[in-house]
Amino acid sequence: MALTTWEELEQTCLNCQKCALADTRTNVVFGVGPRDAEVMCIGEGPGENEDKQGEPFVGRSGQLLDKMLEYAGLSRKKNIYIANMVKCRPPQNRDPAPDEIAACMGWLRNQTAILRPAIIVCIGRIAAVSLIQKDFKVTKQHGQFIEKNGTLMTGTFHPAALLRNPVNKPAAMEDLLGVAKKAQELGLPL
Ligand code: URA
């Protein structure tokens, strides 16, 4: 059954043993940001730094993401909530396995049920194929908005991919500016 308060949800999630990632994690990375944000960003899963600090996107790719969000007027301190598909670090930073994503999905669903964001931004392929469309192609469909159950969903490049391949940075920046513009069109308080 879904939990109805952030405090209860976080406390329960921090004790999660639903998959084998629990055995190797240092910290559960629950999520960060205002708990009434209208925009929610969803990444893939914690890396080494996130596992150590218990906060999403705090390593190199997180710094790039923060910089780009900031340019679009978005920030975890002010107006966006950030979480991941899986709350515990997959060893060696491998992709989370489908069974790990499935085991963790209830936490994410519960987070979105409490937050009720107007816009969800999938950061990278793993989140986009899990949440938007199973054959989502980031290179082709990034920045497009699709409505699902009253929530606007969009996907963009993962900052780790942008660090490897900076040629897509301007397109990713356009995507985030598009999110801010959409929020403005909808009259959302940012
Ligand atoms: N990559 C992600 O997808 N999420 C994080 O929290 C860190 C890196």
Q: Is the CB of 130 under 6 A from ligand 1?
A: no
Q: Which tens digit of pLDDT belongs to each residue from 113-150?
A: 999 999 999 999 999 999 999 999 999 999 999 999 99
Average pLDDT over residues 51-77: 98
Instruction: Indicate whether 54 pLDDT > 80.
Output: yes
Q: Which tens digit of pLDDT belongs to each residue from 111-120?
A: 999 999 999 9
Q: Best mutation site among 28, 50, 121, 164 for ligand 1, i.e. most ligand atoms within 8 A of its Cβ? A: 50
Q: Is the CB of 84 under 6 A from ligand 1?
A: yes
| Rounded distance from Cα 47 to ligand 1 centre (Å) | 6
Q: Is the CB of 96 under 6 A from ligand 1?
A: no
- Cβ burial of 7 (10 Å; 0-12, 13-18, 19+) is exposed
A 10 A CB-CB count for 77 gives: 10
Instruction: Indicate whether 154 pLDDT > 90.
Output: yes
Q: Is the CB of 51 under 6 A from ligand 1?
A: no
User: Atom 7 in ligand 1: which residue has the minimum CA distance?
Assistant: 57
Kindly state the percentage of the chain with pLDDT values over 90: 97
pLDDT attached to residue 77: 98
Between CA 179 and CA 145 the distance in angstroms is: 9
pLDDT attached to residue 29: 99
Average pLDDT over residues 64-70: 98
Q: Is the CB of 47 under 6 A from ligand 1?
A: yes
Backbone angles phi, psi at 147, to 5 degrees: -90, 130
Quickly count helices (H) and strands (E) in the chain: 9, 5
| Rounded distance from Cα 69 to ligand 1 centre (Å) | 15
Kindly state the percentage of the chain with pLDDT values over 70: 100
| Rounded distance from Cα 46 to ligand 1 centre (Å) | 5
Place 190 in a pLDDT band, splitting at 50, 70 and 90: confident
pLDDT attached to residue 1: 73
User: Which pair of structure tokens corresponds to residue 89?
Assistant: 């670090």
| Rounded distance from Cα 124 to ligand 1 centre (Å) | 9
| Of 189 and 19, the one with more pLDDT | 19
Instruction: Give the chain's mean pLDDT.
Output: 97
Between CA 187 and CA 87 the distance in angstroms is: 31
Q: Best mutation site among 28, 32, 61, 158 for ligand 1, i.e. most ligand atoms within 8 A of its Cβ? A: 61
pLDDT attached to residue 10: 98
Helix H or strand E segment including 112: helix 98-115
Instruction: Indicate whether 82 pLDDT > 80.
Output: yes
